[in-house]
Every structure is written in C-alpha cells, then in structure tokens.
Amino acid sequence: MQIIKDKQIINDNWSHVPDDAELKVGDITVSLARWKKDKQQLLHHDGKIGVRLEPSDSVDDIAENLGKFELIELNFPAFADGRTFSHAWLLRNRYQYKGEIRATGHYMPDQVFYLSRVGINAFNLEKTEDLPVALSTLNDFTVTYQNSTN
C-alpha cells in the first residue's frame, strides 16, 4: 500500500491492529483504548508503535506518552467531522510533537492542503488512484492568510 508522506508517495509498512485482534510483529498502530489497556505489553513490542485517535478521543490523554509514538494516526470516520483538524493542531503546537501525523479514513484529496496546514504530514487515502491528485494539492497555494504549523 502507498501513502503520501512529506510530499512524496512512498510504500507504507505500518498496519493498524483492531482492539479484538492479536498483536503482531512489526510497525503497528492501536486505538487509544488499547494503548491504555495494554500499555506495558506495547512498550515491549517488537516494532514501532503508533496510536490512532478518533475525533471523540482527547489529545491530552496521550500527552505524557508522545515520545513513545513514532506515528499518530488521526481517523476521519465521517467527511463532516473536523475535530481531527484540531487534534493535529494541538499535537504540533501545544505539545510540540515532531513525529509523523497521518490522516486516515474518510476525507477528500481536496482537503490535503488544509490538513497539512494544521500539522498533518502523511496521508493514507481510501483510493490509491487519488494519491497523485492529493499530492498535487499540497502545492495549490503559495500565499496564505493565516499562520500554520508548517
């Protein structure tokens, strides 16, 4: 599978492990609930660890553990829910998170530029054929009116 990361299309080696599935070797993300439940086991995991936040999750819940995560996935379960924009902004600005923040779920390629402005630097789109279009949107505007994280 391919994603956009740091304005390039790359192969992705991460996988998300659902709450009811066995942990597997390799680079994985887990839900916030699973992180809280299995934290000690995950700290000894054979591979990199990331956490997936839902719009209803609070960024404050992972603030003290940010240094343990190589990746924070922000899930967009519905096109109309913009709370994950706020999650990204908080991670970059309030908590100074420097790692990968990845958008996943239901969002449009047209939103990629705006997502990048709040701190998201990786994009997992539902349709891989949308990757070139989404990548091109990162260069849509050369002048902006507002400050951003990038």
Q: For the segment 92-140, what is each residue's pLDDT rounded down to a tens digit?
A: 999 999 999 999 998 888 889 989 999 999 999 988 898 988 888 887 6
Asked if residue 141 has pLDDT above 80, the reply is: no
Pairing of strands 2-5, 122-124: antiparallel
Task: Identify the structural domains of the chain with CATH numbers, from first to last.
Answer: 2-137 (3.20.20.70)
Does the pTM exceed 0.75? yes
Under 8 Å between Cβ of 79 and 106? yes
Q: How confident is the model over 29-74, as pLDDT tens digits?
A: 999 999 999 999 999 999 999 999 999 999 999 999 999 999 999 9
End-to-end CA distance of the chain: 26
pLDDT tens digits, 107-120: 888 889 989 999 99
Instruction: Give residue for tokens 């940010």.
Output: 66
How many CA atoms does the CB half-sphere of 53 hold within 13 Å?
A: 27
How far apart, in whole angstroms, are the C-alpha atoms of residue 150 and residue 141?
13
